[in-house]
Amino acid sequence: MKSILNCLVFISCHFNFVSIASASVDDIKKPIKIGSYLTPGLINEDGSGLFNQLNNAIFMELNKQSQLKILSLNRARIGIKNRTLDGYFPELWENLPGKKDQYVVSNPIFYKRIILFSIKDSGLHELSDFDGAFLGAVQGFSYGKEIKSNPRLNIIYQENDTINIKLLLNGRISGVLGGYPGTVLAVKGHKDGNKIHYDLDKPVAVLESFYVCKNDLDGIKLCQSINKAIQSLLKKGILELNQHTGFSRFNQI
Protein backbone atom coordinates (compact mmCIF):
# COMPACT_ATOMS: atom_id res chain seq x y z
CA MET A 1 0.00 0.00 0.00
CA LYS A 2 2.85 2.37 0.92
CA SER A 3 4.56 1.81 -2.43
CA ILE A 4 1.30 2.46 -4.24
CA LEU A 5 0.80 5.75 -2.33
CA ASN A 6 4.37 6.81 -3.10
CA CYS A 7 3.79 6.06 -6.73
CA LEU A 8 0.59 8.13 -6.77
CA VAL A 9 2.34 11.03 -5.03
CA PHE A 10 5.17 10.85 -7.59
CA ILE A 11 2.73 10.81 -10.50
CA SER A 12 0.75 13.71 -9.01
CA CYS A 13 3.86 15.79 -8.34
CA HIS A 14 5.30 14.96 -11.76
CA PHE A 15 2.04 15.95 -13.41
CA ASN A 16 1.94 19.26 -11.50
CA PHE A 17 5.57 19.97 -12.43
CA VAL A 18 4.85 19.34 -16.09
CA SER A 19 1.75 21.55 -15.92
CA ILE A 20 3.66 24.39 -14.27
CA ALA A 21 6.55 24.03 -16.72
CA SER A 22 4.14 24.02 -19.66
CA ALA A 23 2.38 27.10 -18.31
CA SER A 24 5.72 28.88 -17.94
CA VAL A 25 6.67 28.05 -21.52
CA ASP A 26 3.27 29.26 -22.70
CA ASP A 27 3.71 32.52 -20.78
CA ILE A 28 7.11 33.08 -22.41
CA LYS A 29 5.76 32.42 -25.88
CA LYS A 30 2.57 34.40 -25.34
CA PRO A 31 2.87 37.75 -27.18
CA ILE A 32 2.35 41.02 -25.33
CA LYS A 33 -0.80 42.62 -26.73
CA ILE A 34 -0.21 46.31 -27.42
CA GLY A 35 -2.83 48.67 -28.80
CA SER A 36 -2.25 51.78 -30.89
CA TYR A 37 -4.07 53.97 -33.39
CA LEU A 38 -3.35 55.25 -36.88
CA THR A 39 -1.24 58.41 -36.93
CA PRO A 40 0.32 59.46 -40.26
CA GLY A 41 4.07 58.90 -40.19
CA LEU A 42 4.03 57.49 -36.65
CA ILE A 43 1.67 54.51 -36.69
CA ASN A 44 1.00 53.03 -40.11
CA GLU A 45 -1.10 49.96 -40.79
CA ASP A 46 1.71 48.37 -42.84
CA GLY A 47 4.11 48.63 -39.89
CA SER A 48 6.35 51.25 -41.51
CA GLY A 49 5.62 54.10 -39.08
CA LEU A 50 8.24 55.52 -36.74
CA PHE A 51 6.38 54.31 -33.65
CA ASN A 52 5.71 50.90 -35.22
CA GLN A 53 9.49 50.49 -35.49
CA LEU A 54 10.16 51.93 -32.03
CA ASN A 55 7.67 49.51 -30.47
CA ASN A 56 9.44 46.64 -32.26
CA ALA A 57 12.83 47.84 -30.98
CA ILE A 58 11.58 48.07 -27.38
CA PHE A 59 10.27 44.51 -27.32
CA MET A 60 13.30 43.18 -29.19
CA GLU A 61 15.38 44.72 -26.40
CA LEU A 62 13.25 42.77 -23.91
CA ASN A 63 13.48 39.60 -26.01
CA LYS A 64 9.69 39.46 -25.95
CA GLN A 65 7.20 39.11 -28.75
CA SER A 66 4.59 41.85 -29.09
CA GLN A 67 1.38 41.89 -31.08
CA LEU A 68 0.43 45.40 -32.19
CA LYS A 69 -3.29 45.93 -32.69
CA ILE A 70 -4.40 49.02 -34.61
CA LEU A 71 -7.60 50.35 -33.03
CA SER A 72 -9.27 53.65 -32.34
CA LEU A 73 -7.82 55.48 -29.34
CA ASN A 74 -11.03 54.92 -27.35
CA ARG A 75 -10.97 51.18 -28.05
CA ALA A 76 -7.32 51.04 -27.00
CA ARG A 77 -8.21 52.67 -23.68
CA ILE A 78 -11.14 50.30 -23.20
CA GLY A 79 -8.80 47.39 -23.95
CA ILE A 80 -6.78 48.29 -20.87
CA LYS A 81 -9.87 48.45 -18.67
CA ASN A 82 -11.31 45.12 -19.80
CA ARG A 83 -7.86 43.43 -19.87
CA THR A 84 -7.96 42.49 -23.58
CA LEU A 85 -4.76 44.54 -24.03
CA ASP A 86 -1.61 44.55 -21.92
CA GLY A 87 -0.80 48.13 -22.86
CA TYR A 88 -1.26 50.84 -25.47
CA PHE A 89 0.63 53.84 -26.80
CA PRO A 90 1.23 56.66 -27.54
CA GLU A 91 -0.65 58.51 -24.81
CA LEU A 92 -0.40 62.03 -23.36
CA TRP A 93 -1.25 63.28 -19.88
CA GLU A 94 -3.65 65.84 -21.29
CA ASN A 95 -5.91 63.04 -22.51
CA LEU A 96 -6.13 61.10 -19.24
CA PRO A 97 -8.78 62.20 -16.75
CA GLY A 98 -8.15 62.30 -13.02
CA LYS A 99 -4.81 62.17 -11.23
CA LYS A 100 -1.54 60.79 -12.55
CA ASP A 101 -1.24 58.23 -9.74
CA GLN A 102 -4.37 56.49 -11.05
CA TYR A 103 -2.39 55.18 -14.02
CA VAL A 104 0.47 52.80 -14.67
CA VAL A 105 2.63 54.37 -17.38
CA SER A 106 6.11 54.05 -18.83
CA ASN A 107 8.80 56.68 -18.98
CA PRO A 108 8.52 58.98 -22.03
CA ILE A 109 9.28 57.20 -25.29
CA PHE A 110 9.11 60.41 -27.30
CA TYR A 111 8.25 64.06 -26.86
CA LYS A 112 5.53 65.70 -28.87
CA ARG A 113 6.64 69.17 -29.94
CA ILE A 114 3.83 71.61 -30.69
CA ILE A 115 5.07 73.71 -33.59
CA LEU A 116 3.64 76.96 -34.96
CA PHE A 117 3.12 77.13 -38.73
CA SER A 118 2.51 80.48 -40.44
CA ILE A 119 3.02 82.28 -43.74
CA LYS A 120 6.67 83.35 -44.12
CA ASP A 121 6.07 87.05 -44.80
CA SER A 122 3.20 87.42 -42.30
CA GLY A 123 5.40 88.46 -39.38
CA LEU A 124 3.44 86.03 -37.18
CA HIS A 125 6.08 83.69 -35.80
CA GLU A 126 5.45 83.70 -32.03
CA LEU A 127 2.38 82.42 -30.19
CA SER A 128 1.93 85.87 -28.63
CA ASP A 129 1.50 87.31 -32.16
CA PHE A 130 -1.81 85.47 -32.52
CA ASP A 131 -3.95 87.33 -29.99
CA GLY A 132 -7.43 87.31 -31.49
CA ALA A 133 -6.30 85.58 -34.70
CA PHE A 134 -7.55 82.20 -35.85
CA LEU A 135 -5.28 79.21 -35.32
CA GLY A 136 -5.98 75.86 -36.96
CA ALA A 137 -5.68 72.58 -35.06
CA VAL A 138 -6.76 68.98 -35.58
CA GLN A 139 -9.78 67.67 -33.71
CA GLY A 140 -8.87 65.06 -31.10
CA PHE A 141 -5.15 65.89 -31.00
CA SER A 142 -3.40 67.27 -27.92
CA TYR A 143 -1.69 70.66 -27.75
CA GLY A 144 -1.07 71.08 -24.03
CA LYS A 145 -3.34 72.46 -21.34
CA GLU A 146 -1.70 75.88 -21.38
CA ILE A 147 -2.46 76.37 -25.07
CA LYS A 148 -6.00 74.99 -24.93
CA SER A 149 -6.89 77.11 -21.89
CA ASN A 150 -5.35 80.35 -23.25
CA PRO A 151 -8.31 82.77 -23.62
CA ARG A 152 -6.40 84.92 -26.12
CA LEU A 153 -6.14 82.17 -28.71
CA ASN A 154 -8.99 81.45 -31.12
CA ILE A 155 -8.42 77.80 -31.99
CA ILE A 156 -10.61 76.21 -34.64
CA TYR A 157 -10.49 72.48 -35.27
CA GLN A 158 -10.48 70.59 -38.54
CA GLU A 159 -10.37 66.91 -39.49
CA ASN A 160 -6.69 66.77 -40.42
CA ASP A 161 -3.46 68.72 -41.04
CA THR A 162 -3.97 68.82 -44.80
CA ILE A 163 -7.16 70.88 -44.42
CA ASN A 164 -5.46 73.27 -42.00
CA ILE A 165 -2.52 73.87 -44.34
CA LYS A 166 -4.91 74.61 -47.22
CA LEU A 167 -6.84 77.07 -45.02
CA LEU A 168 -3.57 78.75 -44.02
CA LEU A 169 -2.41 79.16 -47.62
CA ASN A 170 -5.86 80.44 -48.63
CA GLY A 171 -5.76 83.11 -45.92
CA ARG A 172 -8.72 81.66 -44.03
CA ILE A 173 -6.66 81.26 -40.85
CA SER A 174 -3.49 83.00 -39.63
CA GLY A 175 -1.57 80.02 -38.31
CA VAL A 176 -1.61 76.31 -37.59
CA LEU A 177 -0.70 74.43 -34.45
CA GLY A 178 0.92 71.18 -35.48
CA GLY A 179 3.91 68.94 -35.14
CA TYR A 180 6.32 66.49 -36.64
CA PRO A 181 5.85 64.46 -38.73
CA GLY A 182 2.13 64.92 -39.43
CA THR A 183 1.89 68.65 -40.14
CA VAL A 184 5.33 68.76 -41.74
CA LEU A 185 4.23 66.05 -44.17
CA ALA A 186 1.11 68.08 -44.99
CA VAL A 187 3.28 71.15 -45.72
CA LYS A 188 5.69 69.20 -47.91
CA GLY A 189 2.79 67.59 -49.73
CA HIS A 190 1.30 70.93 -50.81
CA LYS A 191 2.56 72.63 -53.98
CA ASP A 192 2.85 75.96 -52.12
CA GLY A 193 4.36 74.49 -48.98
CA ASN A 194 7.54 76.57 -49.46
CA LYS A 195 5.53 79.65 -48.45
CA ILE A 196 5.06 78.33 -44.93
CA HIS A 197 7.38 79.11 -42.01
CA TYR A 198 8.02 76.71 -39.09
CA ASP A 199 10.92 75.93 -36.77
CA LEU A 200 11.13 72.45 -35.25
CA ASP A 201 13.76 73.70 -32.79
CA LYS A 202 11.39 76.25 -31.26
CA PRO A 203 8.31 74.40 -30.02
CA VAL A 204 5.54 76.35 -28.28
CA ALA A 205 4.90 73.32 -26.02
CA VAL A 206 6.55 69.96 -25.25
CA LEU A 207 4.36 67.00 -24.27
CA GLU A 208 5.41 63.58 -22.95
CA SER A 209 4.37 60.52 -24.99
CA PHE A 210 4.32 57.14 -23.24
CA TYR A 211 2.83 53.64 -22.87
CA VAL A 212 -0.13 52.97 -20.58
CA CYS A 213 -0.17 49.53 -18.95
CA LYS A 214 -2.85 47.63 -17.04
CA ASN A 215 -3.36 48.90 -13.50
CA ASP A 216 -2.36 45.62 -11.83
CA LEU A 217 0.78 43.70 -10.92
CA ASP A 218 1.29 42.46 -14.48
CA GLY A 219 0.87 46.00 -15.81
CA ILE A 220 3.41 47.38 -13.35
CA LYS A 221 5.92 44.69 -14.37
CA LEU A 222 5.33 45.40 -18.06
CA CYS A 223 5.86 49.15 -17.74
CA GLN A 224 8.96 48.56 -15.62
CA SER A 225 10.31 46.28 -18.35
CA ILE A 226 9.54 48.89 -21.00
CA ASN A 227 11.42 51.46 -18.91
CA LYS A 228 14.50 49.18 -18.85
CA ALA A 229 14.29 48.80 -22.62
CA ILE A 230 14.01 52.57 -23.06
CA GLN A 231 17.09 53.13 -20.89
CA SER A 232 19.00 50.52 -22.87
CA LEU A 233 18.06 52.12 -26.20
CA LEU A 234 19.11 55.52 -24.85
CA LYS A 235 22.50 54.19 -23.73
CA LYS A 236 23.06 52.60 -27.13
CA GLY A 237 22.16 55.85 -28.90
CA ILE A 238 19.32 54.16 -30.77
CA LEU A 239 16.87 56.49 -29.01
CA GLU A 240 17.63 60.16 -28.29
CA LEU A 241 15.42 62.29 -26.04
CA ASN A 242 15.72 65.80 -24.62
CA GLN A 243 13.00 66.75 -22.16
CA HIS A 244 13.75 70.48 -22.30
CA THR A 245 13.81 71.05 -26.05
CA GLY A 246 11.50 68.19 -26.97
CA PHE A 247 14.10 66.83 -29.36
CA SER A 248 13.36 63.16 -30.02
CA ARG A 249 14.98 60.82 -32.51
CA PHE A 250 14.77 57.11 -33.09
CA ASN A 251 17.68 55.81 -35.14
CA GLN A 252 16.03 52.83 -36.75
CA ILE A 253 18.06 49.65 -36.63
Which domains are assigned to the chain?
11-109+210-250 (3.40.190.10), 111-205 (3.40.190.10)
Question: For 148-197, how does the pLDDT look when each residue is reduced to its tens digit (9 = 90+)?
Answer: 889 999 999 999 999 999 999 999 999 999 988 889 999 999 999 999 99
What are the pLDDT tens digits along the chain (253 aa)? Answer: 545 444 444 444 444 444 434 334 444 568 999 999 998 788 999 999 999 999 999 999 999 999 999 999 999 999 999 999 999 999 999 889 888 999 999 999 999 999 999 999 999 989 999 998 999 999 988 898 889 889 999 999 999 999 999 999 999 999 999 988 889 999 999 999 999 999 998 999 999 999 999 999 999 999 999 999 999 999 999 999 998 889 999 997 6
Q: What is the pLDDT of residue 94?
A: 87
From 252, 235, 247, select the one nearest 110 (Cα to Cα). Answer: 247
CA angle 155, 160, 166 (to 5 degrees): 80
